[in-house]
Amino acid sequence: MPAPSLAEVLDILHEIAPLELAAEWDNVGLLLQPRERPGRVRRVLLTIDLGAAVVAEARRARADLVVSYHPPIFQPLRRLGMDDGRQRPLLQAAAAGIAVYSPHTALDAAPSGLADWLLEGALGGEAPRELHACGEGEFGRLARLARPLSLPTLLRRLKRHLGVRQLQLAQPARPLLRVRSLAVAAGAGGSVLRGAAADVLVTGEMSHHDTLAATAAGRAVVLAGHSHTERGFLPVLRQRLRAAFDGDLDVVLAAADQDPFVRV
């Protein structure tokens, strides 16, 4: 079978993460279409962020489309220039004829999307007694557990699921020992989880004051690092895209895409 068209790939991406689910402030969808008449898409590169190293990798791999979870165009652009480090990857992608698409918060909120994936990892595959979307825009999930679990067990599951060795934990004045409810949000989830009635709040990053407010309300806060709560979903997205085209679409993960923070 011939490789799919760009429109066909975008249709599948919309099925996986309907753009109408995205936050009003977000910038999602096809952000760069460098060709007036796009041809076939033979290879897709998946990344969390679109940096110059990722674009160079896409060029070497002869990718026709980059799916960047975080939108590389977010604030309005008044001018374009190669001297701007944020714009340079976009201009390089355009020059190479590579299209760029971003799902961002649409993927967070989608059924079986990022928030559900994050929660499933925390629960270790166990089905919750109750499950609700939480936060404005429903980008998070709140689960009431069928049976309580210990906090150390939850932390071990999260480390394994996210592929990290360490997590940050903020405990309330009366340390939490048993977890009966859990709320999760990918990335910077402070605003999504604010006020969530759960024993534990899990996200990538949260402001100091939001953390203090949560612990003052008797909740524990677990922080894994912004992109660590997102990056592990890319293999899931790769599998879905490949399955949608019966293997006729080559989908690869960007090796150059790394968390910007290192432990020193």
Task: Give the pTM.
Answer: 0.95
Q: Are 208 and 242 contained in the same domain?
A: no
* Residue 204 confidence (pLDDT): 97
Q: Are 218 and 122 contained in the same domain?
A: yes
* Residue ranges of the chain whose pLDDT lies below 50: none
Q: Are 132 and 66 contained in the same domain?
A: no
**Residue 67 falls within a domain, yes or no?**
yes
The domain in which residue 77 lies consists of 6-104+233-253
**Residue 261 falls within a domain, yes or no?**
no
CATH code at position 95? 3.40.1390.30
* Residue 190 confidence (pLDDT): 94
The string of DSSP letters for 72-132 reads S--SPPS---TTSTTTHHHHHHHHTT-EEEE-HHHHHHSTTSHHHHHHHHHHTTPPPSEEE
* Residue 212 confidence (pLDDT): 97
User: How many structural domains compose the chain?
Assistant: 2
Q: Are 224 and 237 contained in the same domain?
A: no
